[in-house]
Structure 1
Amino acid sequence: MGPSVRILVRRWVSRAAVAAVWCYEGLLAKVLGGRPDELSVVASVPFLPASAAPVLLVLIGIGEAGIGLWVLIGRAPRAAAVVQTVVIAGFNAGGLLFAADRIPLPGQLLLHNAVLLVLAWLVAVDDRSP
């Protein structure tokens, strides 16, 4: 396997890894209801009517799956990394602020998301290199 093929494989595997996390979190955990605790976290947002929480959760899930597709496609990788950073920071802050009692392992949540962001930024930087 030549260097250009190795680079191509590395880029696709890295993108696919980041995209898989977003698609799992969006589609399986939120849209298909695989993680009921996610609904509990969204329902804890102040001033959000209880009836709106399931709808908002599905919309968030669709958005997360969209981020996964964006990463996989590879368009504007730095912009994708910025969006991922803002979304993850916002969700972590909101979850810890409004639903800390519903997040059993907040340190684990933060660590997993930090690792995801490191990989997301490595993908963004790698895609810009020649």
Structure 2
Amino acid sequence: MHSIAITFPSLVLIRSSVAAVWLYEGLWCKVLGRMPSQVDVVSAVPRFGRRLGLPFLRALGVVEVGLAVWVLSGGAPGACAIIQAGLLILLNVNGLLWARNLIHDPAGMIVKNAAFLLLVWVCGAMPGGRL
């Protein structure tokens, strides 16, 4: 059996991949409202409802866009990874607690987000600082 060597992706590619996820989720899905099911999920949280669900979702989208910018900037990558992990875990736990029946594939969501968190962690742990 032959071994095929591949190179590790560049730091800019890893950061761009992580930032693209936050930008898609924040800007496209939440700020621009292109994923209406996310409003339903947030509105299912007690005391939120539709009245607070949509403004909260838009504010969360702005935070996620900010995370994309932070990831791309390369500033404090370890802290950035910890904040991303904390937010993603918090969002997933609350989604499963309050709106599990509205999430079309809860197990798939967990698997995909676990893989994304690994990429976030690699991005935060790689030396290189600002690009």
Give the alignment's TM-score, normalised by structure 1.
0.89
Structure 2 residue 59 is matched with structure 1 residue 59: yes
Give 1:125 shift.
1.1
Residue type matched to 2:96 in 1? L
**Structure 1 vs Structure 2: percent identity of aligned residues?**
36
Structure 2 residue 113 is matched with structure 1 residue 123: no
1:54-89, Cα deviation, whole Å (9 max, x unpaired): 111100000011111100111000001100110011
Cα gap change, 1:17 to 1:44, in 2 (>3 Å):
same
1:1-26, Cα deviation, whole Å (9 max, x unpaired): xxxxx98x701000000000000000
In terms of mean alpha carbon deviation, does 45-54 or 94-103 score higher?
A: 45-54
Counterpart for residue 17 of structure 1: 17
Partner Cα separation in structure 2 for residue 86 and residue 126 of structure 1: 19
Partner Cα separation in structure 2 for residue 19 and residue 77 of structure 1: 12
Partner Cα separation in structure 1 for residue 62 and residue 92 of structure 2: 18
Counterpart for residue 3 of structure 1: none
Give 1:52 shift.
1.4
Report SS of the residue matched to 1:61.
helix
Structure 2 residue 97 is matched with structure 1 residue 104: no
Counterpart for residue 73 of structure 1: 73
Counterpart for residue 84 of structure 1: 84
More helix per residue: 1 or 2? 1
Unaligned runs of 5+ in 2: 1-6
Counterpart for residue 36 of structure 1: 36
Cα gap change, 1:15 to 1:128, in 2 (>3 Å):
same
CA contact (8 A) 2:11 2:128 kept: no
Give 1:127 shift.
2.8
Partner Cα separation in structure 2 for residue 84 and residue 127 of structure 1: 18
Partner Cα separation in structure 2 for residue 68 and residue 127 of structure 1: 19
List structure 1 runs of 4+ shifted beyond 4 angstroms: none
Unaligned runs of 5+ in 1: 1-5
